[in-house]
Amino acid sequence: MSRNIVLSTLALCLLAACNTPAQPESTDPQTQAAAAKHPVPQQLDFRRLQGVAQSFEIDGQTVHYRAFENIVYVQNPVDTRYQVMNIYIPEAYFHGGSVQGFDADSAPIFLPNQVGGYMPAAPGKPEPNTRNGNQPNAIMVALSQGFVVASPGARGRSDAGGRAPAAIVDLKAAVRYLHANDAAMPGRAERIISNGTSAGGALSALLGTSGNAPDFEPYLREAGAAPASDAVFAVSAYCPITNLEHADMAYEWQFNGVHDYQKISIQNIDYRVERKLVKGTQTAEQTALSDQLASQFPAYVNSLNLRDEIGRPLRLEADGSGSFKNYMNRRLLQSAQLALNEGTDIPEQDWLTVRGSRAYAADFHGYARFVGRQKTTPAFDAVDLSSGENNLFGDEATDKKHFTDFSMRHSTVPGARRADNGIVRLMNAMNYIGPDGTRHYRIRVGQNDRDTSLAISAILALKLQNHGKQVDYHIPWGVAHSGDYDLPELFAWARKISQEP
Ligand code: DHB
């Protein structure tokens, strides 16, 4: 269905502080005590900002909101192109009104980051998605449904000072800004719902698992983040490129034996940029490395003590077979079955048995051969330091570094350096999963996504679930490496979890 979108801006400036019958100050004694103990630094005080009244049309409905753009969310920014956030607030919340059941006190804050390829990202805006037939983007849909939207920019690897852990430090600082200004701003900072795709999905998941983790404190202090919580309420992550320490072995567990590849050129791993694919065949050296990496994966999976939904252990034998692999087969089968239930035609393919409207057996290795290899071995910590992730873990002095012992040992670059494990650790959501923190996760990875092994998101989902989190995990059929393709379902989930008292 194509939608008619009209963007308009009223040339009307509104001062948040004086024009709003702004949020009433919180009456919660705990919030008041925290505010007294940690006053918002003047520079980060939302009440100083001017908003602009804007509107757009979506499905024949006019959505009125106020835009507060390019808010620098730290006191000591090093790059104000990216350490900035755009906040959009439904106009009704400045007049005591409500939108689809939410009001100024209860509206959740949707927090979509725009990061792709671990590159620098400017904050998002309510604008049609040109990569998706000019459909309304997630920010527009969120606003139309009464969510407050706060879209943070973040530094990235090609930017001075943007190497790991800059991006997650920036996103956390943006979250702290929202908590610090909770009393001054419509929207409920206790209900922040993070969203991101690919590298941005990894960062979204990391925001969730690492809320208020002390490891990030020195970086946040240096940046001059607001003295407030960096916890989020819920995480949406599309195709997260996470767990980089183990992503190489997972990739080879999936693609070992698949020698031909269609590789994306290194310049554009960012899912938002059109990709050029280069065909080739793995060399004998790459195949030997693939065998070695694949053989390391079972010990890693077994060390996690994963269990399925009903508590059965998920493990791998030394040869890569076992209950974890069967679990992946089941998830692929579910993916196919759901598509069949929705009337999707699934042509015959040799890894999947379909009879009539039912999918029967799925074979993980057949699946890997069918979708095809997209990265050469090792997929992430390249032995020639050519990957985006090598750049992510570089620093000002050394542009690119290894971040696994394996690729350091097999490096083809004389004098190559290895990133500090303490830094590598900061970028992985898996390292921070514990009893506390964000309870709600929605994880989606397309059945046609070859950017990382399907095992990576499955392991993330399972480990979260095994720690008692509410995890909605699914592999949508036929979907490639991308995000925000199911906005009605995304916001139905966001609305449902927001009803929790
Ligand atoms: C992204 C894609 C990749 O293949 C990768 O290695 C890192 C990031 C991305 O699209 O964000």
The token pair at 12 is: 């009307």
Ligand 1, atom 1, residue with closest C-alpha: 117
Domain total for the chain?
2
DSSP state of 402: B
- Asked whether the predicted pLDDT for residue 27 surpasses 80, the reply is no
Q: Could you tell me if 119 and 211 lie in one domain?
A: yes
Q: Could you tell me if 196 and 62 lie in one domain?
A: yes
Q: Could you tell me if 206 and 152 lie in one domain?
A: yes
Q: Could you tell me if 115 and 235 lie in one domain?
A: yes
Question: Ligand 1: which atom is nearest the Cα of residue 119?
Answer: 11
- The radius of gyration of the chain's CA atoms, rounded to the nearest angstrom, is 23
pLDDT given at position 22: 38
Residue 2: exposure state from Cβ atoms within 10 A (0-12, 13-18, ≥19) = exposed
Nearest to 118 by CA among 451, 468, 486, 374: 451
**Is residue 444 in some structural domain?**
yes
- Kindly list the distances between the CA atom of residue 461 and the CA atoms of 171, 359, 409, 457, in Å, as whole numbers in the listed order: 22, 23, 31, 6
Ligand 1 binding site (Cβ under 6 Å of any ligand atom): 116-118, 198-199, 241, 269-271, 388, 451
- Structural domain that includes position 143: 29-243+428-498
Residue finishing a domain among 354, 375, 396: 375
Ligand 1, atom 7, residue with closest C-alpha: 117
Question: Ligand 1: which atom is nearest the Cα of residue 270?
Answer: 10
The token pair at 169 is: 């430090």
Q: Could you tell me if 252 and 368 lie in one domain?
A: yes
**Is residue 390 in some structural domain?**
no
Residue whose CB lies within 8 A of the most ligand 1 atoms, among 241, 242, 400, for a mutation test: 241
DSSP string of 420-435, one letter each residue: -HHHHHHT-GGGG--S
pLDDT given at position 23: 39
pLDDT, tens digit (0-9, with 9 covering 90-100), for 407-433:
999 999 999 999 999 999 999 999 999
Q: Could you tell me if 88 and 217 lie in one domain?
A: yes
**Is residue 100 in some structural domain?**
yes
Residue finishing a domain among 375, 391, 416: 375
Q: Could you tell me if 49 and 77 lie in one domain?
A: yes
Q: Could you tell me if 203 and 290 lie in one domain?
A: no
Question: Ligand 1: which atom is nearest the Cα of residue 201?
Answer: 11
Q: Could you tell me if 351 and 208 lie in one domain?
A: no
Per-residue pLDDT band for 337 (boundaries 50, 70, 90) equals: very high
- CATH code at 94? 3.40.50.1820
**Is residue 439 in some structural domain?**
yes
The stretch 467-472 carries a mean pLDDT of 98
pLDDT, tens digit (0-9, with 9 covering 90-100), for 360-391:
999 999 999 999 999 999 999 999 999 999 99
**Is residue 315 in some structural domain?**
yes
**Is residue 17 in some structural domain?**
no
Classify strands 352-355 and 358-362 as parallel, antiparallel or unpaired.
Answer: antiparallel
Q: Could you tell me if 235 and 254 lie in one domain?
A: no
Mean pLDDT of the chain: 93
pLDDT given at position 276: 83
Q: How close is the Cα of 116 to the center of ligand 1, in Å?
A: 6
DSSP string of 52-107, one letter each residue: EEEEEEETTEEEEEEEEEEEE-SSS-S-TTTSEEEEEEEGGGGTT-EETTEETTT-
Q: With residue 110 as reference, give the H or E element that holds it.
A: strand 108-112
Q: Could you tell me if 210 and 254 lie in one domain?
A: no
**Is residue 401 in some structural domain?**
no
Q: How close is the Cα of 197 to the center of ligand 1, in Å?
A: 9
Residue finishing a domain among 375, 398, 413: 375
Q: How close is the Cα of 199 to the center of ligand 1, in Å?
A: 6
Higher pLDDT, 132 or 496: 496
Q: How close is the Cα of 6 to the center of ligand 1, in Å?
A: 32
pLDDT, tens digit (0-9, with 9 covering 90-100), for 71-122:
999 999 999 999 999 999 999 999 999 999 999 999 999 999 999 999 999 9
* Residue labelled with tokens 């997209």: 374
The token pair at 149 is: 């939207």
**Is residue 217 in some structural domain?**
yes
Per-residue pLDDT band for 264 (boundaries 50, 70, 90) equals: confident
Q: Could you tell me if 449 and 367 lie in one domain?
A: no
pLDDT, tens digit (0-9, with 9 covering 90-100), for 293-304:
999 999 999 999
